[in-house]
């Protein structure tokens, strides 16, 4: 993760619009009203969603995140390559935007195991074979990825390497904030090959 963005969302613990908070905080109410007015003035005429919060929570994409577990596996919704990271949801409240897809779990090992498979070049290669655009969507889950099994040595290896490589990449980004994703990928090429070899055995039975 290169960067988190702070956002203004007047919501309660259930991720619902907190009208009480807005009533008690005049500046917050004024700011929200300005944003809501901007949305109304610029939304498509054909849109039946008539206020900002309903738009933010379309298909419950906001309120459903209140059920997220401790570890969130995030990956990009579109792009030429699948890229994934694990976020600890208890360190800081996280909201995933529509530019990304995610899976949550209370198992740290399961999270890093799944992220390892998502980051393997062979999975990106196979996704390209079944899609004609840059949109990835839920295609990673169309492959026969086994549920994490702690008794399976290959699963444990993937989780362990993934956690180690996450730390390597995070240190690299922290020391080089402007580094591109391509340069990061080049730097960890050999590590990705190791993930690839394990993923081939676990998912593709090669």
The reply to whether 98 and 141 lie within a common domain is yes
Rounded to whole angstroms, the Cα distance separating 203 from 20 reads 49
Instruction: Specify the residue for token string 């549920």.
Output: 147
**How do residues 49-98 score in pLDDT, each as one tens digit?**
999 999 999 999 999 999 999 999 999 999 989 999 999 998 877 899 98
For 109-141, write each residue's pLDDT tens digit.
Answer: 999 999 999 999 999 999 988 876 788 989 999
Picking from 20, 45, 61, the residue at the C-terminal end of a domain is: 61
Read off the pTM. Answer: 0.89
Say if residue 175 is in the same domain as residue 86.
yes
**In which element (H, E) is residue 105 found?**
strand 100-105
Q: pLDDT tens-digit profile of 146-188?
A: 999 999 999 999 999 999 999 999 999 999 989 998 899 999 9
Please check whether residues 47 and 82 belong to one and the same domain: no
> What pLDDT, on a 0 to 100 scale, did the predictor assign at position 3?
79
| Pair 114, 25 in one domain | no
- Separation CA 100–CA 135 (nearest Å): 11
Distance CA 109, CA 26 (A): 45
Q: Using a pLDDT cut of 70, give the percent of the chain over it.
A: 99
Could you give the number of structural domains in the chain?
A: 2
**Do residues 197 and 158 lie in contact, with contact meaning Cβ atoms separated by under 8 Å?**
no
Question: Residue 2's pLDDT is what?
Answer: 77
Q: How many helices (H) and strands (E) does the chain have?
A: 8, 3
Q: Both 38 and 74 in a single domain?
A: no
Q: What range does the domain containing 57 cover?
A: 1-61
């Amino acid at each position: 993760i290169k960067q988190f963005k702070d956002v203004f969302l007047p919501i309660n613990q259930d991720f619902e619009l907190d009208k009480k908070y807005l009533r008690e905080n005049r500046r917050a109410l004024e700011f929200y009203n300005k944003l809501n007015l901007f949305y109304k003035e610029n939304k498509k005429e054909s849109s039946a969603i008539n206020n900002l919060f309903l738009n933010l929570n379309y298909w419950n994409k906001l309120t459903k995140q209140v059920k997220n577990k401790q570890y969130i596996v995030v990956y990009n919704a579109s792009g030429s390559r699948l890229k994934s990271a694990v976020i600890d949801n208890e360190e800081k409240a996280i909201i995933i935007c529509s530019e990304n897809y995610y899976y949550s779990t209370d198992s740290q090992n399961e999270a890093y195991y799944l992220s390892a498979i998502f980051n393997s070049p062979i999975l990106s290669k196979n996704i390209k074979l079944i899609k004609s655009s840059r949109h990835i969507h839920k295609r990673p889950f169309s492959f026969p990825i086994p549920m994490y099994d702690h008794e399976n040595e290959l699963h444990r290896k993937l989780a362990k390497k993934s956690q180690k490589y996450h730390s390597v990449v995070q240190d690299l980004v922290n020391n080089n904030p402007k580094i591109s994703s391509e340069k990061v990928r080049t730097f960890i090429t050999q590590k990705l090959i190791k993930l690839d070899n394990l993923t081939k055995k676990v998912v593709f039975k090669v």
